[in-house]
Amino acid sequence: MGQSGHVLHACSLDVDLRIPASRSLKAKRTVVKHLVEVSRSRFGVAAAEVGHQDQWQRCELGFAAVSGTNGQVTAVLDSVERFIWSEPAVEVVSMERTWLETGG
């Protein structure tokens, strides 16, 4: 619990992707940049490429959301997942959520 008595709810989403049409790191960066920038602006999440940086057909992205309610964090990350699944340039290998445990 924070000083004001509010509980912090935070969750990360780890997404492992294939980019089958990518033939270079430059082509991969175009796809990654789109996914990261749209997720940040549309859903208000923190987003970054966190793995497979040197592989031109693989990508690991990390997203994080924080809110005062568990439901809001879940809704935001559900939206990010739907967006990623709807992107025709990528194939989802795996997705995993990890909740931050708080003392609240």
3 occurs within a structural domain: no
CB distance 31 to 22 below 8 Å: yes
Please tell me the total count of domains within the chain.
1
Closest CA to 12 of 58, 68, 71, 76: 76
Q: Which domain holds residue 27?
A: 9-99
Q: Put the strands of the sheet holding 9-18 in their side by side order.
A: 46-51, 58-67, 9-18, 91-99
Residues 6+ apart with CB under 8 A from 51: 16, 59, 60
What global pTM score does this model have?
0.90
Query: Which CATH number characterizes residue 64's domain?
Result: 3.30.70.1120
Mind listing the pLDDT tens digit for each residue in 3-46? 556 788 999 999 999 999 999 999 999 999 999 999 999 999 99
Tell me which amino acid residue 21 is: A
62: in domain: yes
**Average of per-residue pLDDT across 64-91:** 96
